[in-house]
Amino acid sequence: MAPLPGEKRNSHGKLKIILGVSTALLVMVIIVAIALTVRAKNVRTKSDQNDANIEAAVMLKRYSYESVKKRTNSFAHVLGKGGSGTVCKGKLPDTSGRDIALKILKESKGDGEEFINELASMSRASHVNIVSLFGFCNEGSNRAIIYEFMPNGSLDKFIELYKFISKTMSTKMDWKVLYNIALGVAHGLEYLHNSCVSKIKQRECHILAKRERDCRVHCS
Ligand SMILES: Nc1ncnc2c1ncn2[C@@H]1O[C@H](COP(=O)(O)OP(=O)(O)OP(=O)(O)O)[C@@H](O)[C@H]1O
């Protein structure tokens, strides 16, 4: 049965309403999608700028947690443990592949401002008798500091080993070696004391041995 003229007008009207609503919905979806894309881009740009600002402030390279985890073989080789974290051996996540000691800080709270400020003051200390900083990682609660690797570890253990070797080989300890170690450490401490890096003066310092005659002050 053919539709009555009134029914036909009615279904045309319904179609127009459906088309109108669908077009409005489509336009809304497009606007929301564009707004979300622009917002995500702004957030990304802001976070990139933030990363660049942090790197500039601390004058150190920032590495991702993933890259340091990979280059320390998932923190497999533990060198030692301190009050604030664990130190692992690894390689610098760059093409140099230099040996590093990575200090993974215990789960840390806060927005990391204090961590960044401390890194900034530590990174300003540069001296031949101070253990160098190579970089850092700051991803949420995953925070780590990358130091140059000191193959002979802490000086007290190195001296013990040196004493042991001298004893077993019936040789005398070379006082020149000890004198050079003491001189290097004194130079490092003197630099820290007289440099303008005020915050470092309040830090705990240890002596680590790189080679027989090359010991450096390590501020952790
Ligand atoms: N750069 C490094 N190279 C080689 N070994 C290291 C290095 N840094 C630390 N270690 C080893 O890890 C151990 C712990 O170092 P860490 O800096 O955590 O000591 P700490 O000063 O007692 O720590 P904290 O200040 O957190 O109490 C050291 O005694 C040393 O054996």
* pLDDT tens over the chain, length 220 residues: 566 666 666 777 888 888 988 999 999 999 999 888 888 776 665 555 566 666 666 678 999 999 999 999 999 999 999 888 999 999 999 888 899 999 999 876 667 788 888 888 888 888 999 999 999 999 988 999 999 999 989 988 888 887 888 778 777 767 888 888 899 999 998 888 887 555 565 667 888 988 877 888 888 7
Q: Which residues are annotated as a binding site for ATP?
A: 103
Place of tokens 């993974």: 104
Judge if the beta carbon of residue 206 lies within 6 A of ligand 1.
yes
Candidates 197, 114, 102, 117; CA nearest to 149 is 102
The single-letter code of the amino acid at 141 is S
Q: Indicate the fold that domain 61-219 takes in CATH.
A: Phosphorylase Kinase; domain 1 (3.30.200)
208 Cα: distance to centroid of ligand 1 (angstroms)? 8
Q: Which residue has the CA at smallest separation from atom 23 of ligand 1? A: 82
Judge if the beta carbon of residue 101 lies within 6 A of ligand 1.
yes
Which residues lie across from 139 on neighbouring strands?
Answer: 142
CB contact at 8 A, 100 and 144? no
Q: What is the pLDDT of residue 124?
A: 84
Candidates 120, 143, 128; CA nearest to 217 is 128
